[in-house]
């Protein structure tokens, strides 16, 4: 039995949902997208910290939104604490972040998906990828028991009340009548694989190991074997999550509160500021670890698989270390901060931000109980480490498609990244290109000077991450250009041209663009005896409020502060942006020079062996990308460029 | 090799010649020379330099119809290599201040560009891969020398310090949501940057470069043709630097050589300049001739000189030195070894380049007239090639801009501070290899407890 789709997405996490959404946007009404996942009721789950955005990550969420994606909308609908990080600093390094009600977030993602009629949700565990004789993907095989599921309309109604914990829109499994009775082939020219932490996943809490990628869920064993058979080089990574506590058992009121911004700003350009925020806003609390627990951790390191070497993974994230890592790496500190973050408005789960751990339960209990305010804390769920298979991303192009199997796209943690935002950004790129491939359109990439997503895709394919890759603003050399305030300016027209952005979002952006032009023109106007507003804007001592007052005094117009602030930022960064822009222009020639697939590194005369190996491994798509690959020097680049121009290697004539 | 840079190189053969061919190719070739929309072919042009206007002949070809396929200018520069070096240096400065990408061309690079741009075919280009390979090897050798040498140590120390500071600033930006990261205090950053600036200043001041030589006082030997200026020039330098002949007008270039004058408290280095005989060039020559432009170059050298030694042979009137005040003129009566049949300039110092008589007095008189103190530091001077020099200067400019920024306000936006730091690193990176964001993050992870 088989069913034909345009695009099949495997996995319902943050990568998979954005991929399905982007593909559906591009394919339009007649498109057919299948989203296959083990448990549809868990689509859009926040597996770890129920937070969206942050430094570098908030910019990605804004980019996903500017490109028509879901993440910003879901965050706005579910946020219970909004805060712009680095708000005292310049616009380029501000990172919008929110903590979400994790049930509301998941329900919103599912609600949005249920509105896209071209997306069919299929329950099922994929163990086989179907590849044709030419090495192109054909589809996936769903074992019996899987089947199509439908959104539950009554749950959608119920969730609109927001008076109780939001329920999953999709059922965990198909109705009996909808189950496949035999192995079923889902066929498509494009398959996007987003396995998250589920490929050959093992969870560790002390000596206890459980097969599975997330608490209470299974593991996908077949896929990684299949990928290995297809010739992919796999790696193994590990990450961890902290214990969850029962709020009622914490002396909440005794702890120092951490508040959100008094005037929260939504992520999405489509969110109506009038009805935002939709949910009641809360605060989180600050506590800390105790010296006695550091002692205990040191004495029990051999029991922490994350640390003792029991986990067969290369590396965990250094920017998000487990508490045992922190204790070892910073022996002179006898305390670390722990943020207690509510996971939902309607349940009592609290996330302990700062003590991700794989230590056994008895040690975890001591660590938690010795934190101020937590002496009687009840632990709802133990912290655990999870190890999982990944595909080394140098085997991809920046389009998200693998070079080995035409039509197979990978996105999210399978590529060695970490974070919902990183996953969502990759999902969007992969989903867009999966749809483009299905439509016989050329694949597209975002450039490093265009978006953080472009920086990420380029980083992934030009270097092998030593640890789960997460975004930092310092990864973007064009940071001053890639701001969260101008994501629409950078991407919405681009997304509209490619069918990612609908007319509603696009026309809203066009009217903002017109308004921005008007502000810029007025600001440049010379006024006798007084500086132009543009001149005022360049001065660091002029606050945006003061500038706004000048504007209303001069022209009697009150510009929206978000647009006025953006123009102020443009003027403040002007000189630097001009410098960066000239750098961008300089690099563009190399970026646009494609390295043909068939170019054989061996045929490039005079190339050093290290450079040949690097070329073979990373297969850079352009000369510019080759320049960023480890092991390729500027001199090598010259030879490669000569070889491209010569239509092959430039061989010396032997006489 | 980046094909969108503008490249520059001397393309006349090495060694002394009376004019030098300087070639520029690339998108900024016209702009850097102040040529807006220049006509194709050969024309006269003056390049505006801080030192004055330099007359040149410009051969202009527009891309894509030029040899390289890009905009191409060949400058015929009259005068010595020193003048050409100065011109190159000033063009680099101009590029740095306008954001144009100018760098010295690698071997074979003009040809390589011609190939890139489809101006020559593969057969013509077949030797290029070998050439570029030679460049690689030369780069390796140069890099090894650099890494072993004092400059290499200096560059890697500077780089390490800049990376450390950048990591601190970046940590303050990217990890403010983390508990344990303490960003560097702006005042500490300022102190560290001032330290870098002053050590760079010290190095650059100590280093022997064309720039530093150009900043020493210039002493021009001027006078009519065959007044014995070149003999005196050689004699003062203690070696044969110029061709001397009894024929009037042998010297056609402006020659500059450093001359060390012993003072009681050290050494005063001056730039001794020999110019063409002043009356040699007929003044009614068409202004476009090389001779006329050499005459202008000679007059220009005299005008900007700190001291003019007016050499007058017996029986001739002193040359006119329009625009030079008497206080800057030292009168010398040459060829003292000849029988004194002809009248000599009254009050002039008598000397003979042939016998050496009067030369010590001349040295003392030059030093006294300049009233300068010693300008040559003791040992430990770095010798900087133009690439190294421009890298260190570029770095110094960025660090200077940062110091200015922080002095104006200690609360300068950290993303702009980071942007300047990155630029400073990029400049030094030209000497030491590329620094990637990973290198900086690596430093952050190693130094901080990040992650909550």
User: Are B452 and A337 in contact (CB < 8 Å)?
Assistant: yes
In a domain, A93, yes or no: no
**Which residue from B129, B176, B179 is facing A86, i.e. has the nearest CB?**
B176
DSSP class of residue A394?
G
A573, closest residue in chain B (CA to CA): B416
Closest in A89, A339, A463 to B173, CB measured: A89
Q: Answer whether residue A34 is part of any domain.
A: yes
Among B108, B136, B405, the strongest candidate for a mutation testing the A interface, having the largest count of A CBs within 10 A, is B136
Asked whether residue A352 falls in the same domain as residue A271, the answer is yes
Burial (CB count within 10 angstroms: exposed 0-12, middle 13-18, buried 19+), residue A586 = middle
Between helix A634-645 and helix B109-116 the angle, nearest 10°, is: 40
pLDDT at A652: 34
| Helix and strand element counts for chain A (H, E) | 20, 23
Q: In whole angstroms, what is the distance from residue A71 CA to residue A256 CA? A: 30
Task: Identify whether residues A152 and A25 lie together within a single domain.
Answer: yes
Are the beta carbons of B125 and A650 separated by less than 8 Å?
Answer: yes
A639/B132 Cβ within 8 A: yes
Is pLDDT of A318 > 70?
Answer: no
Q: What is the mean pLDDT of residues A247-261?
A: 95
- B4/A590 Cβ within 8 A: yes
Structure confidence at residue B133 (pLDDT)? 41
Per DSSP, the three-state class of B304 is helix
**Global pTM value:** 0.74
Residues 375-414, chain A, touching B (beta carbon < 8 A): none
Q: What is the Cα–Cα distance from B293 to B273, expressed in whole angstroms?
A: 17
Cβ A239 vs Cβ A317: under 8 Å: yes
CA contacts within 13 A on the Cβ side of B98: 15
**CA dist A611 to A606, A633, A638, B123, Å?**
10, 8, 12, 25
Q: Do A144 and A227 have their domain in common?
A: yes
Distance CA A166, CA A317 (A): 32
What are A61's two structure tokens?
A: 């969420």
Q: What's the longest Cα–Cα distance across chain A? A: 88
What is the torsional sign of CA A242, A246, A251, A255? positive
**B413 inside 8 A of chain A by CB:** yes
CATH number for the domain harbouring residue A640: 1.10.150.570
- Residue ranges in A384-440 assigned as alpha helix (H): 420-438
Choose among A317, A321, A586: nearest Cβ to B101: A586
Interface contact flag, B413 A339, Cβ < 8 Å: no
One domain, residues A341 and A478: no
Residues in a beta bridge with A210: A203
Using DSSP bridges, classify how beta strands A244-246 and A379-381 pair: parallel, antiparallel or unpaired.
antiparallel
B149-207+382-447: CATH class: mainly alpha
- Selecting from 3.40.30.120, 3.40.50.2300, 3.90.1170.50, 3.40.50.300, what CATH number does the domain B217-370 have? 3.40.50.300
Contact residues, B window 10-49, toward A, CB-based 8 Å cutoff: none
Length of chain B: 452
Mark whether A351 and A296 lie in a shared domain.
yes
Same domain for A207 and A342, yes or no, is: no
Q: How many CB pairs lie under 8 A apart between chains A and B? A: 158
Residue pointed to by tokens 């390094």: A93
A408 has a pLDDT exceeding 90: yes
ipTM: 0.82
A62 domain residue, yes or no: no
Return the residue matching tokens 């606050």. Answer: A543
> Hey, how many other C-beta atoms are within 10 angstroms of the C-beta on B53?
12
Query: Are residue A378 and residue A394 in the same domain, yes or no?
Result: no
Distance, in Å, from the CA atom of B164 to the CA atom of B446, rounded to the nearest integer, reads 11
Q: Per the CB < 8 Å rule, is B173 touching A55?
A: yes
pLDDT 10s digits, A490-542: 999 999 999 999 999 999 999 999 999 999 999 888 877 888 888 888 887 78
β-bridge mates for residue A8, sequence order: A34, A191
Give residue B182's pLDDT. Answer: 63
Q: Is A482 among the domain residues? A: yes
Among A337, A472, A652, whose Cβ lies nearest the Cβ of B129? Answer: A652
B132 touches chain A (CB under 8 A): yes
A413 against B316, higher pLDDT: A413
Q: Which pLDDT value is given to residue B450? A: 44
What percentage of chain A has pLDDT greater than the value 90? 63
- Domain count for chain A, please give it: 4
Are A623 and A604 contacting, i.e. CB atoms less than 8 angstroms apart? no
A471 confidence band (pLDDT: 50, 70, 90): very high
Question: What is the pLDDT at residue A37?
Answer: 96
Please report whether residue A451 resides in a domain: yes
Q: Is A161 found in the same domain as A32?
A: yes
Q: Which of A127-141, A620-634, B124-138, B358-372 has the lowest mean pLDDT?
A: B124-138
pLDDT at residue B135 in the model: 40
Instruction: Kindly report the nearest CA distance between residue B413 and chain A, in angstroms.
Output: 6
Distance from C-alpha of B422 to C-alpha of A477, rounded to nearest angstrom: 9
What is the mean predicted confidence (pLDDT) over A266-280?
A: 94
- Are A201 and A211 a contacting pair, CB within 8 Å? yes
Task: Answer whether residue A227 shows pLDDT above 50.
Answer: yes
**How many other C-beta atoms can be found within 10 angstroms of the C-beta atom of residue B12?**
16
Last residue of a domain, one of A584, A604, A624: A584
- Closest-CA distance of chain B to residue A586, Å: 6
Residue (of A204, A236, A343) closest to A284 by Cα position: A343
DSSP B310: E
Question: Nearest to residue B105, comparing CAs of B70, B81, B78?
Answer: B70
Rounded CA separation A10/B421 (Å): 44
How close does chain A come to B77, measured CA to CA in Å? 29
Q: Does B451 touch chain A (CB under 8 A)?
A: yes
Burial class (CB in 10 A: 0-12, 13-18, 19+), A138: buried
Task: Please check whether residue A473 touches B, CB under 8 A.
Answer: yes
Q: Are residues A278 and A329 in the same domain?
A: yes
For residue A474, give the nearest of B130, B170, B412 by CB distance. B170
Among A582, A586, A650, whose Cβ lies nearest the Cβ of B129? Answer: A650
Average pLDDT over residues A420-443: 98
Mean pLDDT of chain A: 90
Do A594 and A622 contact (CB within 8 A), yes or no?
Answer: yes
Whether residues A378 and A395 share a domain: the answer is no
CA distances from A363 to A206, A309, A357, B74 (A): 9, 18, 10, 77
Q: What pLDDT is recorded for position B40? A: 82
Nearest to A205 by CA among A311, A315, A316, A48: A311
Domain residues for A393?
2-47+102-236+388-489
Q: Where are the domains of chain B?
A: 6-142, 149-207+382-447, 217-370
B404 neighbourhood in chain A, CB within 8 Å: none
Q: Is residue A511 part of a domain?
A: no
Own/partner pairs for A131-134, CB < 8 Å, 24+ apart?
A131/A230, A131/A405, A134/A406
**A642·B418 Cβ contact <8 A:** no
What would the two tokens of residue B235 be? Answer: 């004699």
Instruction: Give the pLDDT of residue B415.
Output: 92
What number of other Cβ atoms are within 10 A of residue A157's Cβ?
Answer: 9
Token digits for A627? 């320049």
Residues A526 and A482 in one domain: no
Q: How far is CA A301 from the centre of its chain?
A: 32
CB within 8 Å: B409 and A540 = yes
Quick one: pLDDT at residue A25?
A: 97
- What is the DSSP pairing of strand B102-104 with strand A256-258? unpaired
Question: Which residue has better confidence, B207 or A99?
Answer: A99
> Six-digit token pair at A504?
């509603």
At A186, is the pLDDT very low, low, confident or very high (cuts 50, 70, 90)? very high
Looking at A384, A407, A434, the residue that finishes a domain is A384
Give the number of other CB atoms < 10 A from CB of residue B441: 20
The closest of B445, B410, B218 to A472, measured between CA atoms, is: B445
**Can you give the pLDDT of all 452 residues of chain B as single tens digits?**
466 789 888 776 544 455 677 889 998 999 888 888 888 888 888 888 877 788 888 888 888 888 788 899 988 887 666 677 788 888 988 888 888 888 888 766 777 677 667 666 443 444 444 444 434 444 444 444 444 456 667 777 888 899 889 988 988 888 776 655 567 889 999 999 999 999 888 877 766 543 333 346 788 988 887 788 888 888 888 765 555 555 444 455 567 777 877 766 556 778 888 887 766 445 555 655 666 666 777 787 888 788 999 988 888 888 888 778 888 888 888 888 877 667 777 778 888 888 888 888 888 888 888 875 555 443 344 555 556 677 888 899 999 999 999 999 888 889 999 999 988 988 877 665 555 666 666 666 555 544 33
Which of B 307-336 lie inside 8 A of A, CB atoms? none
Contact A121, A171 (CB under 8 A): no
Spatial neighbors of A359 by CB under 8 A, at least 6 apart, are: A205, A206, A297, A300, A303, A304, A323, A324, A367, A383
Q: Is A514 within the bounds of a domain? A: no
Strands A184-187 and A2-4: parallel
A562: which residues sit within 8 A by CB, 6+ positions away?
Answer: A265, A485
Task: Determine the Cα–Cα distance for residues A46 and A48; give it in Å rounded to an integer.
Answer: 6
Contact partners, residue B31, CB within 8 Å, separation at least 6: B98, B100
The mean pLDDT of A573-592, rounded to a whole number, is 79
**Are residues A148 and A6 part of one domain?**
yes
Strands (E), B189-265: 218-222, 255-263
**8 Å CB contact of A93 and B2:** no
CATH superfamily placement of domain B6-142: Probable tRNA modification gtpase trme; domain 1 (3.30.1360.120)
Asked if B128 reaches chain A (Cβ–Cβ under 8 Å), the answer is yes
How, if at all, do strands B307-312 and B218-222 pair? parallel
| pLDDT at residue A368 in the model | 95
- C-beta separation of B100 from B28 below 8 A: yes
A473 contacts in B (CB within 8 Å)?
173-174, 415
Which ranges of A330-441 does DSSP label H, i.e. alpha helix? 361-369, 420-438
A472 neighbors A55 (Cβ within 8 angstroms) = yes
Partners of residue A329 in chain B, C-beta under 8 Å: 449
Residue A72 lies in a domain: no
Residue A526 CB coordination number (10 Å):
9
State the pLDDT at residue A67: 98
Residues of B in contact with A95 (CB under 8 A): 177
Contact check, Cβ <8 Å, A330/B449: yes
Paired strand residues for A349: A246
Compare CB distances from B173 to A86, A329, A642 and report the shortest one's residue: A86
Decide if B284 touches A, using CB distance below 8 A. no
Mean pLDDT of A29-44: 96
Are the C-beta atoms of A356 and A320 separated by less than 8 Å? yes
Cβ of residue B127 closer than 8 Å to a chain A Cβ: yes
Q: Is B447 on the interface with A (CB under 8 A)?
A: no
B415–A93 CB contact, under 8 Å = yes
Nearest Cα of chain B lies from the Cα of A109 at a distance, in angstroms, of 27
Can you say how many angstroms the Cα of residue B28 is from the centroid of all Cα atoms in its chain? Answer: 19
Q: Chain B residues with CB inside 8 Å of A338's CB?
A: 452
Those of residues 332-371 in A touching chain B at CB distance below 8 A are 333, 336-339, 353-354
What is the pLDDT, as a whole number, of residue A649? 36
């Amino acid at each position: 039995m088989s069913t034909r789709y345009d695009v099949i997405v495997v996995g319902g996490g943050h990568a998979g949902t954005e991929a399905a959404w982007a593909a559906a946007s591009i394919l339009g009404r007649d498109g057919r997208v299948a989203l296959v996942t083990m448990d549809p009721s868990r689509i859009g789950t926040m597996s770890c910290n129920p937070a969206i955005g942050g430094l570098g990550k908030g910019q990605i969420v804004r980019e996903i939104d500017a490109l028509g994606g879901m993440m910003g909308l879901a965050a706005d609908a579910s946020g219970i604490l909004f805060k712009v990080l680095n708000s005292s600093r310049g616009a380029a390094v501000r990172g919008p972040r929110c903590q979400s009600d994790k049930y509301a977030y998941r329900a919103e993602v599912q609600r949005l998906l249920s509105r896209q009629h071209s997306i069919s949700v299929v329950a099922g565990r994929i163990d086989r990828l179907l590849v044709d004789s030419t090495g192109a993907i054909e589809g996936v095989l769903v074992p019996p028991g899987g089947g199509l599921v439908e959104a539950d309309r009554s749950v959608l109604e119920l969730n609109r009340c927001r008076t109780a914990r939001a329920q999953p829109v999709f059922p965990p499994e198909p109705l009996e009548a909808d189950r496949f009775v035999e192995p079923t082939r889902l066929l498509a020219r494009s398959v996007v694989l987003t396995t998250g932490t589920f490929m050959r996943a093992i969870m560790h809490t002390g000596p206890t190991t459980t097969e599975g990628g997330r608490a209470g869920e299974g593991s996908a064993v077949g896929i990684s074997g299949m990928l290995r058979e297809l010739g992919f080089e796999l790696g193994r990574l590990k990450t961890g999550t902290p214990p969850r506590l029962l709020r009622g058992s914490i002396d909440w009121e005794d702890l120092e509160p951490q508040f959100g911004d008094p005037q929260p700003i939504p992520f999405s350009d489509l969110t109506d500021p009038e009805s935002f925020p939709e949910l009641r806003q809360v605060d989180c609390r600050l506590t800390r670890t105790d010296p006695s627990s550091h002692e205990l951790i040191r004495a029990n390191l051999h029991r922490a698989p994350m640390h003792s070497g029991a986990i067969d993974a290369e590396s965990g994230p250094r920017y998000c270390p487990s508490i045992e890592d922190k204790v070892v790496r910073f022996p002179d500190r006898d305390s670390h901060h722990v943020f207690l973050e509510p996971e939902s408005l309607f349940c009592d789960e609290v996330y302990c931000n700062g003590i991700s751990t794989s230590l056994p339960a008895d040690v975890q209990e001591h660590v938690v109980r010795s934190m101020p305010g937590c002496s009687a804390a009840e632990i709802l769920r133990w912290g655990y480490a999870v190890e999982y298979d990944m595909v080394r991303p140098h085997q991809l192009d920046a389009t998200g498609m693998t070079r080995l199997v035409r039509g197979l796209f990978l996105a999210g943690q399978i590529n060695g990244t970490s974070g919902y935002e990183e996953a969502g950004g990759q999902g969007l790129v992969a989903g867009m290109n999966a749809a483009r491939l299905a439509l016989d359109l050329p694949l597209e990439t975002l450039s490093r000077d265009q978006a953080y997503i472009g920086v990420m895709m380029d980083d992934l394919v030009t270097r092998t991450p030593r640890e789960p890759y997460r975004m930092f603003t310092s990864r973007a050399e064009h940071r001053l250009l890639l701001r969260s305030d101008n994501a629409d300016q950078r991407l919405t027209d681009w997304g509209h041209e490619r069918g990612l952005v609908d007319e509603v979002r696009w026309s809203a952006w066009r009217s903002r663009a017109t308004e921005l032009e008007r502000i810029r023109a007025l600001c440049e106007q010379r006024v006798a005896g007084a500086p132009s507003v543009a001149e005022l804007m360049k001065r660091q001592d002029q606050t945006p409020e003061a500038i706004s007052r000048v504007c209303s005094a001069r022209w009697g117009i009150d510009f929206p502060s978000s647009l006025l602030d953006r123009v102020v930022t443009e003027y403040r960064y002007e000189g630097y942006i001009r410098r960066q822009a000239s750098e961008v222009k300089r690099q563009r020639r190399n970026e646009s020079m494609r390295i043909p697939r068939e170019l054989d590194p061996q045929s490039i005369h005079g190339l050093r062996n290290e450079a040949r190996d690097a070329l073979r491994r990373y297969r850079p798509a352009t000369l510019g990308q080759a320049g960023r690959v480890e092991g390729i020097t500027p001199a090598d680049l010259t030879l490669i460029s000569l070889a491209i121009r010569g239509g092959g290697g430039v061989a010396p004539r032997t006489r | 090799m980046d094909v969108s840079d503008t490249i520059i190189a001397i393309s006349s053969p090495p060694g002394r010649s009376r004019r030098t061919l300087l070639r520029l190719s690339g998108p900024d070739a016209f702009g850097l020379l102040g040529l807006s929309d220049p006509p194709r072919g050969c024309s006269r042009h003056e390049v505006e330099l801080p030192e004055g206007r330099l007359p040149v002949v410009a051969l202009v070809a527009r891309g894509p119809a030029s040899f390289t396929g890009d905009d191409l200018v060949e400058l015929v520069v009259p005068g010595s290599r020193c003048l050409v070096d100065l011109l190159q240096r000033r063009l680099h400065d101009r590029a740095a201040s306008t954001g144009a990408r100018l760098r010295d061309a690698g071997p074979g690079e003009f040809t390589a560009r011609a190939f890139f741009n489809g101006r020559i075919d593969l057969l013509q280009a077949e030797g290029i891969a070998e050439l570029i390979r030679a460049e690689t090897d030369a780069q390796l050798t140069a890099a090894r020398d650099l890494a072993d040498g004092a400059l290499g140590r200096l560059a890697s120390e500077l780089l390490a310090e800049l990376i450390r500071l950048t990591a601190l600033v970046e940590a303050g930006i990217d990890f403010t949501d983390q508990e344990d990261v303490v960003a560097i205090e702006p005042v500490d950053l300022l102190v560290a940057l001032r330290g870098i600036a002053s050590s760079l200043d010290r190095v650059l001041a100590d280093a022997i470069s064309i720039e530093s030589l150009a900043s020493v006082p210039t002493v021009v030997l001027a006078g009519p043709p065959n007044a014995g200026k070149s003999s005196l020039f050689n004699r003062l330098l203690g070696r044969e630097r110029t061709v001397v002949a009894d024929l009037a007008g042998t010297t056609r270039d402006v020659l500059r050589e450093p001359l060390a004058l012993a003072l009681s408290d050290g050494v005063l280095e001056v730039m001794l300049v020999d110019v063409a005989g002043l009356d040699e060039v007929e003044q009614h020559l068409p202004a476009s001739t090389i001779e006329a432009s050499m005459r202008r170059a000679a007059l220009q050298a005299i005008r900007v000189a700190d001291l003019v030694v007016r050499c007058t042979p017996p029986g001739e009137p002193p040359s006119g030195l329009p625009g030079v005040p008497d206080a800057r003129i030292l009168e010398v009566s040459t060829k003292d070894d000849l029988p004194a049949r002809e009248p000599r300039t009254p009050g002039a110092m008598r000397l003979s380049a042939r016998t050496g008589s009067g030369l010590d007095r001349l040295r003392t008189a030059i030093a006294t007239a300049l009233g300068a103190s010693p300008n040559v530091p003791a040992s430990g001077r770095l010798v900087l090639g133009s690439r190294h020099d421009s890298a260190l200067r570029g770095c110094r400019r960025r660090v200077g801009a940062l110091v200015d920024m922080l002095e104006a306000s200690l609360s300068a936006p950290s993303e702009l501070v980071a942007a300047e730091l990155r630029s400073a690193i990029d400049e030094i990176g030209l000497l030491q290899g590329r620094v990637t964001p990973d290198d900086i993050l690596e430093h952050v992870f190693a130094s901080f407890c990040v992650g909550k």
